[in-house]
Chain A
Amino acid sequence: MKNTISQRVADFLKNFPPFNGLKDDDLQHLSEQITIIYQEKDSIIFTEKELGHDHFYVIHKGAVSLSRKTNNTIVDMCDEGDIFGLRPLMANENYELEAKAHEESILYAIPIAIFKPLALHNTAVGNFLIESFASNTRNPYSKNHRGKLYSDSTESDKNTSELPLVDLQPVHYSKKIISCGPRTTVKKAAEIMTTKRVGAIVIVKDLLPIGIITDKDLRNKIVTGDYPITTAVSKIMTTPVITYPKNLTITQAQMAMMKSNISHLCLTKDGTVDTKLVGILSKHDIMVALGNNPAVLIKAIKRAKKVKHLKPVRKSIMGLLQGYLASNIPMTLITKIISELNDACLKQVIKISLEKMETKPPVKFAWLTLGSQGRSEQMLHTDQDNALIFEDVSEEMLPKTTTYFLAFSTLVTQGLNEIGYEYCPAEMMASNPQWCLSFSEWKKTTSHWIINPGVDEVLLSSIFFDYNLVYGDVSLVAGLSEHIFYTVKKYPIFFVHLAKGALQNPSPTGFFRKFLVEQDGAHKDTFDVKSRALRPLTDAARVLILSHSIKSINNTAERFEKLAELEPNNKEIYMACSYASKALLKFRTKQGLANNDSGRYIALNNLSKEEKIKLKRTFKTIKEIQELVTLRFQLKSM
């Protein structure tokens, strides 16, 4: 029987092949027979060699990894709308791969008994299946050429799991062609290019490409004053255009561009100027096809108009991180690059959210990241901690202004959640009224923490005082920092409490230099690298650097380097701390990438002897810095 949910399922499925080829009635009927399954993260859907289920699966929400157990390689990562586990059912074989929920996922299980006759009687569906099963060489870099149906065949996977010959892959070009007529003014054309954020515009007459204008043409011919901006584009365009057929390989495209010294290729139906324009290929597209590099990713981030466009970019950033770690690039550099990219994502989410608001912000504001993000130490997707400051307004305007910024912050935090940042379990987010305050309110709040340093207040300040401006007005943040230093000077006892907080996590080794491991819970017998090793260092760095009244440096390793400069007599220990914090961060990041989690808990059994020694070496440093803090703030006598 048709019901609300079966209709919703049908609405979802009809956007994806092969279901888009089904008749409405058939799709409705099929949807009524579907089972909706909730898979928690890391749960197994089917294993290698397992007998085929009665269903195949479509991902509604989340992601599923298909992997081969024998060599532990992920063969494929399926996203929303992707199908998996169908081929073995069609061929009556057992599963050849293991399917595991990479994220918390919701799946639609579609009964093969009902789907098979539909597929056999419907040419559109049948053809899609044949094509997907046959085209075993799918290009992992080009989403466009990626069959939506994942084969489970061993042979095909060999091609994809080893690095394919990228050069000979077909390129992914943009089908959305930005064009204008020959009589358009240059000014208008430039406006179109700006709003569409492209570097070239094609001049089209009767659907045929007759010329092209690039940023370079505008610079060379207009900005120099040779032509007025009211000139028709046909006067300055490069003509004729260089055209190619659409099934160009990456290498061919690169060579074509080098040969003619141009940055854009027009792709037409048969490759000549006399047929319809089907796409345009830029140098940027080639860079993307060649793989990930930070410049390309930054560009992709800035081009994103919707939050969901950022999701694949975030995945690429993780890929980049993995590559950097594998090639042993210095951690300082890795942190810089990855933080820049994460920061760019954040800024873009904020920009997109601002555009979603009906009105412009009533006053200036500043968006702050706190905690590890504020310290640029967040490599993996962890929780989001953030806050918002807005300019002071009159008392009667305050409620209205607060409401505006709360609504805005809610949009941003939702956006961040969508791209992989979990909500902060302690609600330290700008969408919480306590973390979205006016300048004066923030001054009051921080004063309260400093003057009454109880356990909660010290904890709050230790998270908040690592704030970092991501977006908005710099003077608000500078003003707040100034206020904080002014207040702590008046109440120096605050440092003593902050220092005491820094010593709450004792040295990580116990008797006989054994690791202290978790006693119970889900993480029993694992080592909590975050709270036992990283946090003592971070906390020590914070209290020491703040006691020198320095707010501009947030990163723990950099703070220690600055301290080494400020106190030459302690240089040795500070440099050791700087090194230790980098080493531990790298450790945690690697662990997190390997286990698809935050990397916080380390199973000691999985560590090599060398790794254990490395880890223990940092513990000695932690002990020394804790002793230094004890002495400096005279905590022994308290």
Chain B
Amino acid sequence: MFQFFKKNKAELPQFWKDYELKFKDKMSDDLEDKTFCVLDTETTGFDYSKDRILCIGAINLRQRRIEIKDGYEVFIVQQVYGKDAAPIHGILKNSLIPRLSELEALEQFVNYVGNSIIIAHHAIFDLNMINNALLRNGLPELKNTYLDTSHLYKKTIIKSNLITKKEHYTLDELADKFTISKKDRHTAMGDAYITAILFLKILNKLQESGKKVTLKDLLK
């Protein structure tokens, strides 16, 4: 097994080796030092093995700031096409938006994300989609630490017998709760932006009780 892994590693493309190198240094626990990559994917459906990513949208968040020009949006050429999802994200199979092959898009994305902490709403879904795409292209899984805003929200709910916590909270539900405009809902980048603001508002709520919140607290 080890042998296999080692052999495989030698064949990995340069961009992946560069990506792995970025994780060498140990990171501090202070949220102010961190770069977060808030992302969302639009896909052909919800099946990890059958469905494909059509679009990845991501923005960088550092010290509560988002630089618009650092936003990342990529559309991917796919042979699989889910008719059911098209009305939601509005990405048509043969539309004229410039698109990349899956491998090209992944390379760009991996270069973009670096060692930042990934934030997404129901993060497991987006990460599984991306990791499956990596696997199809002979690459290992992402190494990034990640946070899920749906999970983080639950930390803000006060402890009381009177409230029944739900298992899942949708992005729409939470955008309403925190009065965030839903204008660009269902575009990858629009959802990434909503998620970023949501993350900041949740963080603010968690810090209201006066405690300094560290990355460790969020990962709990």
- A interface vs B, CB < 8 Å? 1, 3-6, 8-9, 31-40, 104, 106, 109, 410, 414, 417-418, 423, 425-428, 456, 459-460, 521-524
The answer to whether A426 touches B163 (Cβ under 8 A) is yes
Residues of B within 8 A of A6 (CB): 68-69, 71
Contact flag A35-B189 (CB < 8 Å), given A106-B197, A522-B208, A522-B210: no
The answer to whether B162 touches A3 (Cβ under 8 A) is no
Residues of B within 8 A of A4 (CB): 57, 71, 73, 184, 187, 189-190, 193
The answer to whether B71 touches A3 (Cβ under 8 A) is yes
* B85 CB–A CB distance under 8 Å: no
- In whole angstroms, how far apart are the Cα atoms of A418 and B210 in the complex? 25
The answer to whether A31 touches B68 (Cβ under 8 A) is yes
The answer to whether B68 touches A3 (Cβ under 8 A) is yes
Contact flag A417-B184 (CB < 8 Å), given A5-B68, A38-B200, A425-B158: no
- In whole angstroms, how far apart are the Cα atoms of A567 and B109 in the complex? 76
B207 closest partner in A (C-beta): A40
Could you tell me the distance in whole angstroms from the C-beta of A445 to the nearest C-beta in chain B?
A: 12
- B interface vs A, CB < 8 Å? 57, 59, 64-69, 71, 73, 157-158, 160-163, 176-177, 179, 183-184, 187, 189-190, 193, 197, 200-201, 204, 207-211
Nearest 5 CB-CB pairs, A to B? Answer: A522-B210, A4-B189, A36-B66, A38-B200, A38-B64
Could you tell me the distance in whole angstroms from the C-beta of A14 to the nearest C-beta in chain B?
A: 15
- In whole angstroms, how far apart are the Cα atoms of A608 and B64 in the complex? 38
Residues of B within 8 A of A521 (CB): 209-211
Find the residue from A104, A414, A428, A459 having the highest chain B CB count within 10 A.
A104
Find the residue from A6, A36, A428, A460 having the highest chain B CB count within 10 A.
A36
Find the residue from A8, A39, A423 having the highest chain B CB count within 10 A.
A8
Q: Which of B193, B201, B211 is A104 in contact with, Cβ under 8 Å? A: B201
| 12 other A-B residue contacts (CB within 8 Å) besides A35-B66, A36-B65, A37-B65 | A1-B69, A3-B73, A4-B57, A4-B73, A8-B190, A35-B65, A35-B67, A35-B68, A38-B201, A106-B197, A109-B65, A524-B210
Could you tell me the distance in whole angstroms from the C-beta of A60 to the nearest C-beta in chain B?
A: 10
The answer to whether A32 touches B65 (Cβ under 8 A) is no
Q: Which of B179, B190, B197 is A38 in contact with, Cβ under 8 Å? A: B197
Residues of A within 8 A of B73 (CB): 3-4
Q: Which of B68, B204, B209 is A36 in contact with, Cβ under 8 Å? A: B68
Residues of B within 8 A of A9 (CB): 68
B184 closest partner in A (C-beta): A4
Contact flag A37-B189 (CB < 8 Å), given A104-B201, A426-B158: no
The answer to whether B64 touches A39 (Cβ under 8 A) is yes
Residues of A within 8 A of B210 (CB): 521-524
- In whole angstroms, how far apart are the Cα atoms of A39 and B158 in the complex? 23
Residues of A within 8 A of B163 (CB): 426-427
The answer to whether B190 touches A5 (Cβ under 8 A) is yes
- In whole angstroms, how far apart are the Cα atoms of A8 and B209 in the complex? 33
The answer to whether B176 touches A414 (Cβ under 8 A) is yes
B176 closest partner in A (C-beta): A414
- In whole angstroms, how far apart are the Cα atoms of A3 and B201 in the complex? 23
